[in-house]
Amino acid sequence: MFFNYLRFVFDQLRQHVVRFLLTISGVAVGVGSLVFLASFIAVGLDVLRETSTNATGEDLLTVRDSWRLKRKYPNERRLSNEDYRNLSESKTLERVMFAPQYGPDNRNYSFEGRDGDAFVMGLGPSGFPTNRLRVAVGRPFLSSEYERFSKVAIVGSDLLEQHPRPWIGKSIRVEGVALLIVGVLERKPVMGPNRDWSWNNRIIIPASTYNLLFNVDKKPDAIVGKVSLFGSDFTLEQSVDAARVLTERVLMLVREHKNFRIPGSEDRDSNEDTIMLVIKVLMIMTTVFSLVVGGINIMNIMLVTVTERTREIGLRRAMGATRRDIIAQFLIESVLVTMTGAILGLLGGLLLIAVLSATLTRVFYPWPYHVEWWSVLLSMGLSVLIGGLFGLSPALKAARLDPVEALRYE
């Protein structure tokens, strides 16, 4: 009996190829898009997290003035070099290496007759290891250059890419001040579409020189801490969380009100969870709408099929088939048509995942082939449900046909 139902599907495909493909197109698109997007989002999130770790570091914590809290407590002190010293000298934070950051500020520069804008910042000796910055070409700043307010600079790997190398030994003018380029940073992964904000497009100068030229009050814009494991019983995440709590306590020793912010992993995880929930809801709703459209198409084709097979239905009734048998026949046929579209959509989605994985691995970043099996099961389950619901009306219409009138139908 089941093979007879399959034969109906193949007959529809053979006799009405275009009509059949248009009928199942909505289901195929819905299933394929759900499987493809679920995989893309899952892998994309992992790639984003890995890139974020490489770009910023999961072992870093950053203290910044909170301008919202500063408006609330205008007389409270803002971050200062004294805070940096207190943190660096704290016995409870010996496992954290702190570094003050001055800037970055967007400033004009000129190099070999071309003008541009770049983020300029000042770093001390500890700023480079704290932020995982390495000099790929040239050299880092010398101790004497920090002490003598030397006008030297280290540039990001992409800043001067339109100019021929080597850049070492040439001068770059920032706000009219000539700085000697002594090094080029090793390239770091880029987070997000704003390439200008990345380390690869920055100009770094000694903190003492930056404060002399651009930072009159000499107060840091941020204090960054690189956290080491607090002990063998601590994970890195636990160590960072503990360092965040201890850092806040040290800073509050000289404050009455908290006017700074230390972004934590809970903020990131909360934002990620919210964004992912919204994306998944939108993705599933889009799939449901597509399947509903496909279900309407299937209902229409099944109604046409009932009319085309009126004599067959009358003959089956005359040979003893009950209304329940007719309903079951058309429901099963409707589900099989829907499942045909679902299987084609699934194969198309898996093919797109493979193409995407190969393409992005070649041109962007290692992108593994991965299938979210919950999306496969969900899409197949929804397809069966849609096939049954939208096949019910044609099935009832077929079951209500009068056997005698059906046999007379031409």
Max mean pLDDT among 276-280, 347-351, 356-360 falls in 347-351
Q: What is the mean pLDDT of residues 2-15?
A: 59
> Is the model's pLDDT at 53 over the cut of 60?
no
How confident is the model at residue 323, as a pLDDT? Answer: 81
Closest CA to 34 of 230, 290, 296: 290
How confident is the model at residue 294, as a pLDDT? Answer: 82
How confident is the model at residue 337, as a pLDDT? Answer: 82
- Say which residue, 195 or 152, is predicted with more confidence: 152
Among the residue ranges 66-75, 139-148, 353-362, the one predicted with the least confidence is 66-75
> Is the model's pLDDT at 18 over the cut of 60?
yes
> Is the model's pLDDT at 82 over the cut of 90?
yes
Q: Which two tokens stand for residue 62?
A: 């950053």
> Is the model's pLDDT at 192 over the cut of 70?
no
Total length of the chain: 410
Sequence-ordered strand ranges (E) for 193-235: 202-206, 222-227
| Cα–Cα distance for residue pair 262/28, rounded to 1 Å | 47
Q: Which two tokens stand for residue 362?
A: 């070649």
Query: Contact at 8 Å (CB) between 265 and 227?
Result: no
> Is the model's pLDDT at 193 over the cut of 90?
no
Percent of the chain with pLDDT over 70: 86
Biggest distance spanned by C-alpha atoms of the chain = 107
Q: Do β-strands 114-123 and 202-206 pair in parallel, antiparallel, or remain unpaired?
A: parallel
> Is the model's pLDDT at 212 over the cut of 60?
yes
How confident is the model at residue 410, as a pLDDT? Answer: 55
**Mean of the per-residue pLDDT values of the chain:** 83
Query: Contact at 8 Å (CB) between 122 and 215?
Result: yes
How confident is the model at residue 232, as a pLDDT? Answer: 81
Q: What is the mean pLDDT of residues 133-156?
A: 95
Residues 231-274 have pLDDT tens digits of 888 888 888 889 999 999 999 999 998 889 887 644 555 555 67
Percent of the chain with pLDDT over 90: 36
Task: Tell me the C-alpha to C-alpha distance, in Å, between residue 260 and each of 76, 108, 205.
Answer: 10, 29, 26
Residues 93-113 have pLDDT tens digits of 999 999 999 989 999 999 998
Among the residue ranges 42-46, 67-71, 387-391, 401-405, the one predicted with the least confidence is 401-405
> Is the model's pLDDT at 205 over the cut of 90?
yes
How confident is the model at residue 49, as a pLDDT? Answer: 58
Query: Contact at 8 Å (CB) between 277 and 366?
Result: no
> Is the model's pLDDT at 317 over the cut of 80?
no
Domain-wise residue ranges, the chain = 2-53+269-408, 77-255
Angle between helix 265-308 and 310-318 (nearest 10) = 80
> Is the model's pLDDT at 55 over the cut of 70?
no
Q: What is the mean pLDDT of residues 181-209?
A: 83
User: pLDDT-derived band of residue 1, with 50, 70 and 90 as boundaries?
Assistant: low
User: pLDDT-derived band of residue 165, with 50, 70 and 90 as boundaries?
Assistant: confident
How confident is the model at residue 23, as a pLDDT? Answer: 76
Q: What is the dihedral of CA 251, 255, 258, 263, to 10 degrees?
A: -10
| Cα–Cα distance for residue pair 28/32, rounded to 1 Å | 6
User: pLDDT-derived band of residue 407, with 50, 70 and 90 as boundaries?
Assistant: low
| Cα–Cα distance for residue pair 305/255, rounded to 1 Å | 79
| Cα–Cα distance for residue pair 392/296, rounded to 1 Å | 12
| Cα–Cα distance for residue pair 369/201, rounded to 1 Å | 32
How confident is the model at residue 335, as a pLDDT? Answer: 83
> Is the model's pLDDT at 340 over the cut of 90?
no
**Which amino acid appears at position 267 of this protein?**
D
User: pLDDT-derived band of residue 85, with 50, 70 and 90 as boundaries?
Assistant: very high
User: Residue 191 carries which DSSP code?
Assistant: P
How confident is the model at residue 153, as a pLDDT? Answer: 97
What are the DSSP calls for 358-406, one per residue?
HHHHHHTS-------HHHHHHHHHHHHHHHHHHHHHHHHHHHTS-HHHH
